[in-house]
Amino acid sequence: MDNPTESFIIDDQDAGLFRVNRKAFTEPECLENERRRVFDKCWIYVGHESEVPHAGDYRSRSVAGRPMILVRGDDSVVRVLLNTCTHRGSLVCRQKSGNARTFQCPYHAWTYNSRGQLVGVPGEDSYSDAFKRDEMGLVAPPQVDNYRGFIFACFDRAADSLYDYLAGAREYLDLVVDQSELGMKIVAGQQSYSARANWKLLVENSYDGYHGLPTHQRYFSFLSDIGVDMKGVSIATPSHQKAVDLGNGHAVVEYQSAWGRPIAHWVAPFGEHRREHFEQLRRRFDDRFGPERARRICETSRNLGIFPNLVINDIMAITVRTFFPVSPDYMEVNAWALAPADESAEDSALRLDNFLTFLGPGGFATPDDVEMLESCQRGFANREVGWSDISRGMKREHPSITDELQMRAFWRRWNQLMTEPQLRRARKAA
């Protein structure tokens, strides 16, 4: 299994054809390889620093199949710690969130402080001199870093820095984070759901402009019913939209949208009484960034995919969404709302309201996305139909957001990681 495998993609740039072998969605061996070649090699999103605002605040969650603790130590440093006692394995943190000075393993009462150092071992005199307490702290992933509040971990000691890894995605993260002068925060309330589908189907879906109208016509009918002007913006106009390969498997679509945005893009359903307030907000952006960047921040929506499994969709609200495969045909999804840390209670309520019109497992759109992914997965049982087509817009000079450039950026990187002989090289080096 460590040997380079046959390519999962057909990438014929001359002919303009791109195909993905459906074994990538169905084979258990493929998932085994993904765990080691993708999830153990890439920077994986763990959480946002706003989730642990005070010293001792922690969140325990599963990341890339591992129970982890995101904790702000008593020194105010945010750390990621692997949630397993270095003694014999038990979880040392069994609450989902809270504030603690120490984590005490319930099994034999080994105690760690909020920095992860082992500070208490009952009957410590029974150990030999070779037992070093300061070597037995909670283990951290080999690399942990933070880009403007977003905290990532990487299990590959040799991997590029997070800054370099994010490559072109930084520009788009900046467009999100610049929405506040005081930083962004994750709003209370986690949407914890799932799909009976391969995780990569959700990658494709999260920035797929082609499915918008057919899959989500009920949402656009709703917008029209509540009085949103649907004629003002045409996503088919090239000057108003683009799809960009951001490097390292990241990609984005950026476009002008009909829906209102809680950042300074007013629409009629927000209410006439909010119009002046939104214009003020907008002028503040003009002052901070100049009219062009202000327009981009406020009026354009963007669906950003950070390889492999982080989606930040800055659309009618901002969702941060991450997901992990449990089996080839089942994934767990966690999603949050991201908002300016200094947003007023009224603006925040509007933002959350706007979020729920489309997003989440009870929204007017996400359930239909889950349905489509599950429908694809069921279709894959027809093994005679071995390949999916992702060729759309391949010969176009400026692919549109309804083309499939974004997915091809993902698949090329994914296929490279899945087939390059990196593990063999690593073993030789060892």
Partner 1 sequence: MSGMELPSRQEVEELLYKEAALLDEWRLDEWLELLTEEAIYEVPPTDVPEGDSRNTLFIIADDAVRIRSRVKQLLGKAAWSENPRSRTRRMIANVRVLGSDGENILVTANFAVYRMRYESVDTYIGRYDYKLAREGSILKIRERRAILDNEALRPHGKISFIL
**AA identity, residue 375:** S
**Least CB distance to partner 1 at residue 311 (A):** 16
Of 1, 130, 345, 429, the one binding partner 1 (CB under 8 A) is 345
Distances (CA, A) of 77 to 133, 177, 216, 341, 366: 22, 21, 43, 19, 36
* Cα angle value 393/170/163 (rounded, 5°): 125
Shortest spacing between CB 194 and partner 1, in angstroms: 4
Chain Cα centroid distance, residue 352: 19
Q: At closest approach, how far in Å is the CB of 394 from partner 1?
A: 28
Residue with token string 């007017």? 364
- Considering the rule CB under 8 A, would residue 258 count as an interface residue with partner 1? no
Region of residue 89 (left: phi > 0; alpha: psi -120 to 50; beta: else): left
- 55 touches partner 1 by CB under 8 A: no
Is residue 336 at the binding interface for partner 1, with CB under 8 A as the rule?
Answer: yes
Task: Report the C-alpha gap between 353 and 401 in whole angstroms.
Answer: 26
Check residue 263 for interaction with partner 1 (CB under 8 A).
no
Task: Compute how many other C-beta atoms are within 10 angstroms of the C-beta atom of residue 209.
Answer: 19
In the shown chain, the binding pattern of residues 77 to 116 toward partner 1, with x for contact by CB under 8 A and - for none, equals -------------------xx-------------------
Which one, of 341, 259, 340, lies nearest residue 301 by Cα?
259
Task: Provide the minimum distance between the beta carbon of 381 and partner 1 in the complex, in angstroms, as a whole number.
Answer: 12
Question: The tokens 């106009």 sit on which residue?
Answer: 237
Asked if 68 touches partner 1 (CB under 8 A), the answer is: no
Q: Indicate the residue among 306 and 372 with the shorter CB distance to partner 1.
A: 372
Q: Which residue of 361, 376, 412, 423 would you call a contact of partner 1, by CB under 8 A?
A: 361
Nearer of residues 83 and 400 to partner 1, judged by Cβ: 83
User: Which structure tokens are listed for 210?
Assistant: 């082609």
Nearest residue (CB) to partner 1, 333 versus 401? 333
> Which range of residues in 75-83, 247-255, 331-339, 393-401 is near partner 1 by CB under 8 A?
331-339
232 vs 362 by CB, closer to partner 1: 362
DSSP summary character for residue 115: T
Instruction: Pull the structure tokens for residue 74.
Output: 């008593």
Using the 8-state DSSP alphabet, how is residue 6 labeled? P
Contact 375, 195 (CB under 8 A): no
> With the CA atoms of 128, 131, 133 and 139 taken in that order, what torsion angle do they form, in degrees rounded to the nearest 10?
-160
CB of 226 to partner 1, least distance (A): 6
Nearer to partner 1, 168 or 269 (CB): 269
Asked whether position 360 contacts partner 1 by CB under 8 A, the answer is: yes
* Residue 356 beta carbon to partner 1: minimum distance, rounded to whole angstroms: 6
Listed in sequence order, the residues at least 6 apart from 7 whose beta carbon sits closer than 8 Å to its beta carbon are 415, 419
Q: Residue 73 or residue 363: which is nearer to partner 1 going by CB?
A: 363
CB 146 within 8 A of CB 163: no
> Interface mask (CB under 8 A) for partner 1, residues 188-227, using x and -?
xxxxxxxxx------------------x-xx--xx--xx-
Q: Does position 187 bind partner 1 by CB under 8 A?
A: yes
Comparison of 173 and 317: residue with beta carbon closer to partner 1:
317
- The CB-of-128 to partner 1 minimum distance in angstroms stands at 43
Cβ–Cβ < 8 Å for 47, 151: yes
- CA neighbor of 341 nearest in space, from 216, 176, 220, 162: 176
397 scored as a contact of partner 1 (CB under 8 A)? no
Element (H, E) at 194: strand 191-195
Query: Contact between 398 and partner 1 (CB under 8 A)?
Result: no
Residue 202 CA: distances (Å) to CA of 38, 274, 310, 311, 371:
16, 35, 10, 9, 11
DSSP 128-149: -TT--GGG-SPPPPSEEEEETT
Total interface residues for partner 1 by CB under 8 A: 43
Give me the least distance between CB of 292 and partner 1, in Å please. Answer: 32
Is 155 a binding residue for partner 1 by CB under 8 A? The answer is: no
| Residue 352 makes contact with partner 1 by CB under 8 A | yes
Nearer to partner 1, 161 or 221 (CB): 221
Decide: 266 and 229 in contact? Cβ < 8 Å: no
Among 364, 380, 411, 414, binds partner 1 (CB under 8 A): 364
Could you list the residues that contact partner 1 (CB under 8 A)? 96-97, 187-196, 215, 217-218, 221-222, 225-226, 330, 332, 336-337, 345, 348-349, 352-353, 355-357, 360-362, 364, 366-368, 370-372, 374, 378
